[in-house]
Amino acid sequence: MNVSVEILQLLSEVGYMSCFKNDTKNAKIIMDGVDAIAGDQVPTKMGVALVDLYSGRYDKAIDTLQNYVLVREPDHMSAQCFLGMALKMSGKDSEAKDIFDHVVKNGNDDERVIASVHLGI
């Protein structure tokens, strides 16, 4: 199936809106569909990980971020933020702290703020 980038972006946005409105069931369905169509693309995998994070599937989010996104883009600071959040939510505070410390040193302004909040600074 040949789907335009614009359609995939629109579907991803609908998936994000569902996720942020606490409709994680439909968000997961939408993002899994986008992932199946888009194939191996970092932005799509980020969306899948984000929905997993917001759905409480922390181990899946960690796996996607560590073994897919950050393998391909190790300096992706947003992925690092989401990984830190997933680690923290799954009780891996020490690992999360290391990630957030890294983001505070290397991220952009928004990423540093997110990491700082999670570090309590």
pTM recorded for the entire structure: 0.85
Architecture of domain 5-119: Alpha Horseshoe (1.25)
Domain boundaries, the chain: 5-119
Burial 54-89 (b: 16+ CB within 10 A, else e): bbebbebbbebbeebbbeeeeebbbbbbbbbbbbbe
Asked whether residue 106 carries a pLDDT value surpassing 90, the answer given is yes
Asked whether residue 82 carries a pLDDT value surpassing 70, the answer given is yes
Half-sphere exposure of 54 (CA within 13 A, CB side): 20
Q: Tell me how far apart the alpha carbons of residues 95 and 8 are, in angstroms, rounded to a whole number.
A: 33
Q: What is the mean pLDDT of residues 43-71?
A: 93
Asked whether residue 20 carries a pLDDT value surpassing 90, the answer given is no
* Percent of the chain residues topping a pLDDT of 70: 98
Query: Where does the pLDDT of residue 24 fall: very low under 50, low under 70, confident under 90, or very high at 90 and above?
Result: confident
